[in-house]
Amino acid sequence: MLIVKVVKPLVSTNRIPDFEHKHLQVVLDGSTKKVAVDAVGAKPGDWVICVSSSAAREAAGSKSYPSDLTIVGIIDHWKPDPPKTSAPSPSPSSSKPAGGKAS
């Protein structure tokens, strides 16, 4: 599964009916924006787990659902790696990962 960040909901009025009422979210996978079906109710800024491949279909609700990327969990605490292409910033310490209870 991928670890991605939720950016914002995506609006697509003209789309196939198979998507039904489910929410689509723009997510950031590294530096690439993709679209994921939201199965957990994520909010912009959340770090989430996305399942891809054929498993994304059933994770979105049924074997015939047309998803190739589905948000299946919100990560309790996540500290992203610093960007690879820029110089390391001197003070990235504002992010405070803390222990969470394991499920």
Task: State both tokens at 16.
Answer: 């196939």
Q: How far apart are CA 88 and CA 27, in angstroms?
A: 24
Number of residues that bind a second copy (CB under 8 A): 55
The answer to whether 103 contacts a second copy (rule: CB under 8 A) is: yes
Residues 53 to 92: which contact a second copy by CB under 8 A?
53-59, 63-70, 72-77, 81, 84
Residue 26 CB partners (closer than 8 Å, separation 6+):
6, 7, 8, 9, 10, 33, 34, 35
Toward a second copy, which CB reaches closer, 23 or 90?
23
- For tokens 């909010």, the residue is 43
The answer to whether 32 contacts a second copy (rule: CB under 8 A) is: yes
Q: How far apart are CA 73 and CA 20, in angstroms?
A: 21
Q: Which residues bind a second copy (CB under 8 A)?
A: 1-3, 9-16, 18-19, 24, 26, 30-36, 39-41, 49, 51-59, 63-70, 72-77, 81, 84, 100-103
